[in-house]
Structure 1
Amino acid sequence: MDWQHLATQLFGADHGIRRDGFFLHGDVTFDGQPITVLGTTEHAPIGVQLALAQARVVLDTLARHPGRPILLLIDTQGQQLRRRDELLGINRAMAHLGMCLDLARRRGHRVLGLVYDQALSGGFITSGLIADACDALPEAEIRVMRLPAMARVTKLPEALLAELSEDNPVFAPGVGNYVAMGGVRRLWEGDFQAALREALANAPTVDQRAADGAARGGRRLAAEVIQRVLQAV
């Protein structure tokens, strides 16, 4: 879905969200409550500049608007694969963005992610997967790694991975599989304003993705392993 269409459905035609290249940012009002919105568009590659720009908005919100909710609009192809960004430390810039979002959560800001188009790789890990809750539109595309790349990394035949992906969400791309694994909390269908209202009211403040994955059958052992580790500490 086009970000303008989404923003208009959520906040009206005069929503106040601006676009600077791939970067979306702005202050909106929803049900009389101010919300900071930031995100990306056009399958943005997340490089150093874009990661730091998003982190700046988060830090400004922490400093100027304590407790204000933050909504992440996610459409990314992952990290920028460019020598310049590697030399400038793309890993540290993306980690900085993730730590800023984590700090916002720990200081009482409700942080929500919405995958409205595409979410891949590190660009998704350091945004939606760090939020209190990450939701998605049904037509969104989500994956961390394509099967050919997964085959190269794991040294397993691509045909075997394709077979495993048919009944194991961990090996399969697709928004439905991320719901099953607990990485995506729920899909927004129908009334987007009602969905955002519910997310603001009921998004968890503790990480329950492993428990959701176990309950939905997508990650059967993660929650159990986490509990066993905690008991052993």
Structure 2
Amino acid sequence: MELADILASLFPGGHEVAVTGNLISGSGIINAIKVHVIGIAGQSPLGCEGALILAGHVLEITRKGSAAPILVLIDSSSQRMSRRDELLGLSECLAHLAKTLLLAGAQGHRTIGLLYGGSAAGAFIATALATGTLVALPGAHPAVMDLPSMARVTKLPIEVLKAKAEKTPVFAPGLENLAQTGAIHAVWNPDQSLAEQFLALLAEQTGGDARDRLGEGRGGRPKAASIAQRVEKEASHA
């Protein structure tokens, strides 16, 4: 599903969303609800400038004092792999973007990520995983870390990691595996109105971050929820 088709389905009455240098920004109205939109298009990498521009949009939204939802549309590669970006502090810029989304959530904005293409590594963490709820469209292909990169970091043979990935979703990239771990809340149906699916998601009571509980229920992350509960219990008695 192309970006233009996604925007048309989300905002059948029209919108003011533009793409500038592969960065998405603007807003639209869904059933009288104003929705702020930011994101990345065109499978582009996320560098320092892009991360700071997107963070600036989020901070500007939070300064307006409303509780309008923020939709983050994502079709990126990974963070920009350049010496220049690393020297400029790319990790800090990505962290800044993630923190602005967390700030928006803390101030009452529903932050919803819609993964419609690819995303990986730092770009994925700073955008998709930093939203309060992440959904995806069929054909999306996320990866926190691909298996060849994981092999270099862990020093494990790629064959060992491939075998683990077949049995344990946390080792495996891809839409189905990320959904099984609970990182992706739901996969939307592109043949139905995205506006209606967005409104249905808004109507759901979040009850905090439910990704660990989703992962437990789907069998993709059986221990995270119980460990988190134990940590919270121990911390409350400290």
TM normalised by structure 2 equals 0.94
* 1:135–1:203 distance in 2 versus 1, CA, 3 Å: farther
**Cα pair 1:46 1:78 within 8 Å, conserved:** yes
1:36 matched to 2:40: no
How far is 1:12 from its partner? 2.8
One-letter amino acid of the counterpart of residue 75, structure 1: D
Please list every run of 5 or more consecutive structure 2 residues that lacks an aligned counterpart in the other structure: none
CA RMSD of aligned residues (A): 1.3
How far is 1:155 from its partner? 1.2
One-letter amino acid of the counterpart of residue 29, structure 2: T
Give the corresponding residue for 2:118: 118
1:10-159 superposed matches below 5 A: 10-12=10-12, 14-159=14-159
1:9 matched to 2:9: yes
How far is 1:203 from its partner? 5.7
What are the Cα deviations for residues 40-66 of structure 1, in whole angstroms up to 9, with x where unaligned?
101121111100110111111111252
One-letter amino acid of the counterpart of residue 79, structure 2: Q
* 1:203–1:55 distance in 2 versus 1, CA, 3 Å: farther
- Comparing 43-52 with 198-207, greater Cα deviation is found at 198-207
Give the corresponding residue for 2:201: 199
1:216 matched to 2:222: no
1:154-193 superposed matches below 5 A: 154-189=154-189, 190-191=191-192, 192-193=194-195
Secondary structure, in 3 states, of the residue corresponding to 1:40? strand
Alpha-carbon distance in 2 for matches of 1:96, 1:107: 16
- Comparing 153-162 with 223-232, greater Cα deviation is found at 223-232
How far is 1:38 from its partner? 0.4
Alpha-carbon distance in 2 for matches of 1:81, 1:88: 12
Percent identity reads: 37
How far is 1:232 from its partner? 2.1
One-letter amino acid of the counterpart of residue 174, structure 2: G
How far is 1:15 from its partner? 2.0
- Comparing 108-117 with 125-134, greater Cα deviation is found at 125-134
